[in-house]
Amino acid sequence: MDQKGEWLSDALRATFHFRKWNGVKFEGLHEAKGYMSQIMRAYPDWEGEQLPESFIIKIPTYSTTAEKAIDIPIDNENDNECQKTILLIKIFHRTESKIYELFEQLESPPVPTPRVYFNRNSSGTWNDEFSVLVMEDLGKYSTVDIVVGFNDMQMYAIVDAIVDLHVYSFTHNGWESVGFSLQELKETESIATILGALADRLKQRSPYHFGKIDMLMELLGKDDWSERYLISCHSGGIL
């Protein structure tokens, strides 16, 4: 990683009017390691008033480093599979990016989101084009392993937030531009297939906690419900 971090300096300059930028230290977050993104904490060495001590940097995994943003190597024998994975990661990052853009316009978003100081979504691989999110550091909050579980109040709060998000999506416009296009849906692995694989992994990890997850998968249906959902969303229909 570029220890001078000029790209980060440029990204933050519009929001924080600092006097001088001396560099930045990047630190990997082991407790927040993602399969689809590289998540780091950045400690800027800068001079000015009321400047945050740190930020969270999130970069899709198809970009190996922020200063080069080189796509992950493609194995010729699994070229098609790797291309599908890269496309899926790009779509997920683009979706997250657009959701933040959508919610930033609202005085009261349906769910709480971190403050985003820099939001770039790009399919490019050059220094000034790589996709990245620079967000406020929520390090004061703690993470909870899903197997260990939440207490009742935490669980109700999570379910309430999910309900609020769904109600908002049914009663407001703007969601048509978020997520997969019909063409992308055909070029990537079925969402139903992906969720099925994740359900199997959860069941293997903890049969006690996820022994009945098959019932959830049955409720979702055996057909490709994700494509049906997308078509209905684009046509303005209600599921």
Confidence at residue 35, expressed as pLDDT on a 0 to 100 scale: 62
Dihedral sign, Cα of residue 12, residue 18, residue 21, residue 26:
negative
Tell me the two tokens of residue 61.
């995994």
The answer to whether residues 227 and 234 touch, using CB atoms and an 8 Å cutoff, is no
Paired tokens of 92 = 């997920």
- Expressed in angstroms, the distance from the first to the final Cα of the chain is 46
Q: 149-171: per-residue pLDDT in tens?
A: 788 888 898 899 999 988 888 88
- pLDDT tens track for 8-17: 999 999 899 8
Of 39-53, 63-77, 206-220, 225-239, give the lowest mean pLDDT range: 63-77
For 134, the 3-state DSSP assignment is strand
Instruction: Compute the mean pLDDT over every residue in the chain, rounded to the nearest whole number.
Output: 79
Stated pTM of the model: 0.73
Condensed to tens digits (0 to 9), the pLDDT of residues 100-110 reads 998 888 888 88
Of 24-28, 53-57, 211-215, 229-233, the least confident: 229-233
- What would you report as the CA-atom Rg of the chain, rounded to the nearest whole angstrom? 20
Domain boundaries along the sequence of the chain: 6-143
What separation in angstroms does the CA of 12 have from each of 85, 135, 207? 31, 11, 46
**pLDDT tens digits for 62-81?**
654 443 432 334 344 456 66
- 9: number of Cβ within 10 Å: 18
Query: What per-residue confidence (pLDDT) applies to 32?
Result: 60
**pLDDT in the model for residue 72:** 37
Is residue 59 pLDDT above 90, yes or no? no
pLDDT in tens, 99-142: 999 888 888 888 888 999 999 987 654 445 788 999 999 888 77
